[in-house]
Amino acid sequence: MSEESPREITRRLRSLFEGVLLGDDHAESVYFVLDPASGGPVAPVANWLLDENGAHEAADLVLMTPDENADSLQLLCRARAVRPDEFGGAYYEAHHAKPAEGTLCLLEVESIKAGLTLASGEDCCVPNPLVKVIGAICRAVNADRARLAEACDRALHVKPQAPICVGVDPDGLSIRARFGIVRIPFDIEPQNAEQALSLVADILARAGDRP
């Protein structure tokens, strides 16, 4: 088991959307997504774990992802309810729909354990630099859903029915399919919005071609 850099941990986090939230000797499977504005996970938290202000102030919640095993990332967190004016709530619902139970919260990450590495949440949960163009990129990708399905097939050897692009970050596109969220990775990390749009255009242009 090797050590991981904060950048490698960030890349792993961006590719994950499910985990187990541990709190007060209780474990619950949850879906989550990284808030583009802060970089922290957004996930439903059981109401009994929150105070009257919709917060869990002690940094003793643990989000394990992708599941509850020794190889998973372990995020030590506190929580607060997502405010109505924050993008994280809508971003979560675009990926996973509105949670049936609990309160949708932003998990403020104190530290992350990844194998032999112990890193700070501040170093790993970083804001998405493409936050201002997420909507524009998703609209461009979703303009031709059949081509998007071909792009998934080319990149992942999976051709989902009715795929929809729901997110983008410097590591790739998040695509919602009927069976869950899949990722189409970028070949390089875009340095700005224009380069990200160019990478997306190239992915769509090559859709249908065999790699």
Domain assignment present for 164 = yes
Model pLDDT for residues 143-193, shown as the tens digit of each residue: 999 999 999 999 999 999 999 999 999 999 999 999 999 999 999 999 899
Per-residue b or e along 39-56, where b marks 16 or more CB atoms closer than 10 Å to that residue's CB: bbbbbbbbeebbeeebbb
Do both 42 and 64 map to the same domain?
yes
CATH number at residue 199: 3.20.180.10
Write out the two tokens for 132. 């201002």
User: What is the spatial distance between Cα 199 and Cα 196, in angstroms, rounded to a whole number?
Assistant: 5
Do both 107 and 135 map to the same domain?
no
Do both 97 and 148 map to the same domain?
no
Q: Are strands 26-31 and 33-34 parallel, antiparallel or unpaired?
A: unpaired
- Please state the domain count of the chain: 2
Model's pTM, two decimal places?
0.94
Domain final residue pick, 124, 154, 169? 124
Do both 55 and 93 map to the same domain?
yes
In the predicted model, what is the mean pLDDT of residues 189-199? 92
Domain final residue pick, 100, 124, 148? 124
Residue 124 has pLDDT above 90, yes or no: yes
Domain assignment present for 1 = no
Model pLDDT for residues 55-69, shown as the tens digit of each residue: 999 989 999 999 888
Please tell me the predicted confidence (pLDDT) of residue 173: 98
Range of the domain at 48: 6-124
